[in-house]
Amino acid sequence: MRFLRMLLNDGELDGARILSAETVRSMAKNHIGDLTVPALETARPELSHDFTFVDDGRDKFGLGFLINFSAKEGGRSSGSLAWAGLYNTYFWVDPQAGITGVILSQFLPFSDPRALETLDLFERGVYDLMAE
């Protein structure tokens, strides 16, 4: 969470400069040009389900993150950064809303419907609470 908070604060954490603001901005820029991020078809069903990223193939990659270029209903804003890990760990950073979130779990296969539903409910819950 500290790393994600640092990204939300343009490279600063608890008063200490970790990354320059310019570096954080560069990390959050599209670095793949016109290429798109397609749905991924699994080659190892025991490890992962097929997976479509948040933006149905319109997402881009920055330096270390997937960039969502469309707002998610009830959740993250356009320009949010996100990534996931094989064991159904997920995080996002929403600089526009000043919100970040992470879910850590340890089970396979990746992109498990229960994990994705939990992520969606958690994300919607966070944004609902912040709107109050």
- What CATH number is given to the structural domain containing 72? 3.40.710.10
Residue tagged 């396979």 (tokens)? 108
For the chain, how big is the Rg over CA atoms in Å? 15
Tens of pLDDT, residue by residue over 84-119, are 999 999 999 999 999 999 999 999 999 999 999 999
Tens of pLDDT, residue by residue over 24-70, are 999 999 999 998 888 889 999 999 999 887 666 678 999 999 999 88
For the chain, what is the domain count? 1
pLDDT at residue 104, as a whole number: 97
Domain hosting residue 31, numbered range: 2-131
pTM of the model: 0.91
Q: How many CA atoms lie within 13 A of 71 on its CB side?
A: 9
pLDDT at residue 52, as a whole number: 83
